[in-house]
């Protein structure tokens, strides 16, 4: 490990060499990067030797925790045996075949094939192109628009970034592209009262009606798909209101619109079920996964293709036309080996069951510790995903001016205290998504540190 003076040199070198994602260059030049060195379990240590409890599992992804020699060994073995080969033109490798078999067994009913990429963004682009191609093959070339939701996060590539609904992802890029439309996010805490919806069910009915009106305004013959994160992550950690996906499904079926479940965060256990689609009774045509598939040890994404779409590709390919889409790294054997080892750990240690069992106490512990603070408006969660919304006035739910960066200041204070949490980009929401192996003692430290950080920022603000 590098420490002390070497660490300072790395921060300086980073300033001179690296262009960071989602980073204001002024911050990198000013404060400098937090340079990470090593990690184990739920803890990560920077180059100065300071150790943090990682309450965010990286970017919602290190589900089995850090330092899993079993995954590193699998990567090592596979890279000695067959580090890489492509999957174009009917070429395959054993790890990706074994992984596909396993994913189809774990997935909700009706999934027929697996298509691999390397990130959540490219997997969403793949889903878009599958919908376009599916409709062209069905003789409906005009049926191309895809409806997403405001504040959704589906990634940053041109198509996925268009589906994202976070303004910063569009600004300065001329996005969204013209195939994308956005309806309202399902935010029961903040948006339902403004719609006069007193119950979750009535709010779900309102949102389904809004979706139907959008489809009719756009004309159903031009609408190919609807994409949703089962629990919206980066847009605020928003679990669906009761009855939401049932109400949406009726609208989609009526207008021949396919459903894409973006399970990049929720897939592989984060909500206490292997897939959130199971938990919420969603029957998607495509399921998009990445992150938890390898717990972030190597980059890998997988789009699971359901019967309705697969059968059209299968039929169309009888005349020899390929699905002309794919990546150099599609079906990467070493990444697939990492995913297989990750799934072994999840199954053997019953980590998905662990998340389900611990979820109620995770929620109530944070709610008890935080809900009486004057800045905390809402604590909401699904499994091991939690959002803590900070407000200027709890009675009116008035937000702080964005310029105060309240959630960002709380996250920085927690970091100084040795705990990593994420301030979400679009509102004052702190997101928590600990590794599935987090202990009760670590959860209690996480909640108490977050309380102290909120107290510190409250003292500055009032
Ligand atoms: N979809 C969801 C729901 C995500 O949360 C993310 C990333 O956070 C993505 C897609 C994009 O994934 P990636 O950053 O791997 O491109």
- Can you give the three-state secondary structure of the chain, one letter per residue? CCCCHHHHHHHHHHHHHCCCCCCCHHHHHHCCCCCEEEEEECEEEECCCCEEEECCHHHHCCCCCECCHHHHHHHHHHHHHCCCCCCCCCCCCHHHHHHHHHHHHHCCCCEEEEEEECCHHHHHHHHHHHHHHHHHHCCCCCCCEEEEECCCCCCCCHHHHHHCCCHHHHCCCCCCCCCEEEECCCCCCCCCHHHCCCCHHHHHHHHHHHHHHHHHHHCHHHEEEEEECCCECCCCCECCCCCHHHHHHHHHHHCCCEEEEECCCCCCCCCCCCCHHHHCCCCCCEEEECHHHCCCCCCCEEEEEEHHHHHHHHHHHHHCCCCCCCCCCCCCHHHHHHHHHHHHHHHHCCHHHHHHHHHHHHHHHHHHHHCCCCCEEEEEEECCEEEEEECCECCCCECCCHHHCHHHHHHHHHHHCCEECEECCCCCEEEECCCCCCCHHHHHHHHHHHHHHHHHHHHHHC
Instruction: Tell me, in angstroms, the distance from the centre of ligand 1 to residue 316's CA.
Output: 31
Instruction: Tell me, in angstroms, the distance from the centre of ligand 1 to residue 19's CA.
Output: 19
Report the pLDDT averaged over residues 151-163: 98
Share of the chain above pLDDT 90, in %: 95
Instruction: Tell me, in angstroms, the distance from the centre of ligand 1 to residue 269's CA.
Output: 16
Sign of torsion, CA 92 95 101 107?
negative
pLDDT greater than 90 at residue 443: yes
Point out the ligand 1 atom lying closest to the alpha carbon of residue 155.
11
Mean of pLDDT over the chain: 97
Q: How many Cα neighbours within 13 Å face the side chain of 295?
A: 29
Summarised one tens digit per residue, pLDDT across range 318-353 is 888 899 999 999 999 999 999 999 999 999 999 999
User: CA 172 to CA 167: how far, in whole Å?
Assistant: 10
Report the pLDDT averaged over residues 47-60: 97
How many Cβ atoms sit within 10 Å of the Cβ of residue 40? 12
Summarised one tens digit per residue, pLDDT across range 218-265 is 999 999 999 999 999 999 999 999 999 999 999 999 999 999 999 999
- pLDDT (0 to 100) of residue 319: 86
Report the pLDDT averaged over residues 411-427: 97
Summarised one tens digit per residue, pLDDT across range 68-92 is 999 999 999 999 999 999 999 999 9
pLDDT greater than 80 at residue 148: yes
462-to-233, 375, 388, 392, 451 alpha-carbon distances in Å: 30, 10, 19, 10, 16
Residue 31: pLDDT band with limits 50, 70, 90: confident
Instruction: Tell me, in angstroms, the distance from the centre of ligand 1 to residue 3's CA.
Output: 32
How far out from the chain centre does Cα 187 lie?
17
Point out the ligand 1 atom lying closest to the alpha carbon of residue 263.
3
- pLDDT (0 to 100) of residue 403: 95
- pLDDT (0 to 100) of residue 5: 61
pLDDT greater than 70 at residue 1: no
- pLDDT (0 to 100) of residue 458: 97
- pLDDT (0 to 100) of residue 141: 97
pLDDT greater than 70 at residue 2: no
Point out the ligand 1 atom lying closest to the alpha carbon of residue 124.
10
Q: Cis omega (within 30 of 0) on the bond before 441?
A: no
- pLDDT (0 to 100) of residue 320: 84
Summarised one tens digit per residue, pLDDT across range 352-366 is 999 999 999 999 999
Instruction: Tell me, in angstroms, the distance from the centre of ligand 1 to residue 100's CA.
Output: 21
Summarised one tens digit per residue, pLDDT across range 196-214 is 999 999 999 999 999 999 9
Triad 19, 20, 21: Cα angle to 5°: 125
- pLDDT (0 to 100) of residue 4: 58
Greater model confidence, 320 or 394: 394
Instruction: Tell me, in angstroms, the distance from the centre of ligand 1 to residue 153's CA.
Output: 7
- Of 345, 359, 427, 341, nearest in space to 388 by CA: 427
Predicted TM-score (pTM) of the model is 0.98
Measured by CA distance, the residue closest to atom 13 of ligand 1 is 120
Point out the ligand 1 atom lying closest to the alpha carbon of residue 120.
12
Best substitution site from 117, 153, 164, 302 to test ligand 1's pocket, by max atoms within 8 Å of Cβ?
153
How many Cβ atoms sit within 10 Å of the Cβ of residue 62? 28
Residue 3: pLDDT band with limits 50, 70, 90: low
Report the pLDDT averaged over residues 124-151: 98
Best substitution site from 264, 302, 327, 431 to test ligand 1's pocket, by max atoms within 8 Å of Cβ?
264
| CB-defined site of ligand 1, < 6 Å | 59, 119-121, 124, 153-155, 229, 233-234, 262, 264-265, 290
Residue 317: pLDDT band with limits 50, 70, 90: confident
Instruction: Tell me, in angstroms, the distance from the centre of ligand 1 to residue 262's CA.
Output: 9
Instruction: Tell me, in angstroms, the distance from the centre of ligand 1 to residue 461's CA.
Output: 33
């Amino acid at each position: 490990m590098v420490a002390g003076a070497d660490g300072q040199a790395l921060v300086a070198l980073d300033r001179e060499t690296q262009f960071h994602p989602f980073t204001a260059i002024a911050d990198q030049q000013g404060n400098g990067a937090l340079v990470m060195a090593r990690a184990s379990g739920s803890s990560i240590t920077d180059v100065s030797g300071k150790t943090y409890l990682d309450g965010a599992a990286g970017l919602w992804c290190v589900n089995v925790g850090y330092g899993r020699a079993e995954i590193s060994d699998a990567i090592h073995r596979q890279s000695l045996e067959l580090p890489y080969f492509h999957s174009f033109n009917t070429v395959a490798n054993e790890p990706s075949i074994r992984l596909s078999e396993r994913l189809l067994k774990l997935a909700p009913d009706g999934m027929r094939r697996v298509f691999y990429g390397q990130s959540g963004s490219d997997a969403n682009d793949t889903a878009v192109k599958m919908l376009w191609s599916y409709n062209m093959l069905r003789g409906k070339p005009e049926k191309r628009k895809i409806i997403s939701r405001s504040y959704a996060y589906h990634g940053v590539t041109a198509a996925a970034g268009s589906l994202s609904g976070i303004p910063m992802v569009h600004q300065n890029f001329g996005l969204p592209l013209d195939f994308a439309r956005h309806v309202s996010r399902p935010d029961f805490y903040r948006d339902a009262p403004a719609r006069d919806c007193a119950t979750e069910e009535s709010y779900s009915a309102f949102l389904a009606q809004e979706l139907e009106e959008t489809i009719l305004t756009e004309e159903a013959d031009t609408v190919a798909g609807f994409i949703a994160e089962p629990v919206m992550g980066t847009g605020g950690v928003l679990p669906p209101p009761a009855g939401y996906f049932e109400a949406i499904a009726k609208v989609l079926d009526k207008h021949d619109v396919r459903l894409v479940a973006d399970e990049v965060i929720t897939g592989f256990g984060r909500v206490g079920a292997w897939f959130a689609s199971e938990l919420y009774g969603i029957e998607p045509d495509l399921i998009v996964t990445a992150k938890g598939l390898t717990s972030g040890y190597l980059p890998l994404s997988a789009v699971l293709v359901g019967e309705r779409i697969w059968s059209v590709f299968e039929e169309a390919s009888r005349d020899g036309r390929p699905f002309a889409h794919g990546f150099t790294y599609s079906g990467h054997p070493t990444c697939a080996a990492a995913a297989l080892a990750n799934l072994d750990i999840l199954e053997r240690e019953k980590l998905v069951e662990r998340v389900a069992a611990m979820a109620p106490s995770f929620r109530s512990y944070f709610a008890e510790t935080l809900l009486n603070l004057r800045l905390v408006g809402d604590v909401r969660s699904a499994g091991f995903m939690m959002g803590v919304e900070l407000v200027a006035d709890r009675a009116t739910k008035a937000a702080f001016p964005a310029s105060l960066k309240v959630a960002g200041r709380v996250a920085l204070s927690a970091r100084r205290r040795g705990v990593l949490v994420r301030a979400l980009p679009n509102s004052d929401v702190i997101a928590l998504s600990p590794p599935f192996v987090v202990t009760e003692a670590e959860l209690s430290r996480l909640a108490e540190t977050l309380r102290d950080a909120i107290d510190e920022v409250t003292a500055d603000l009032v």
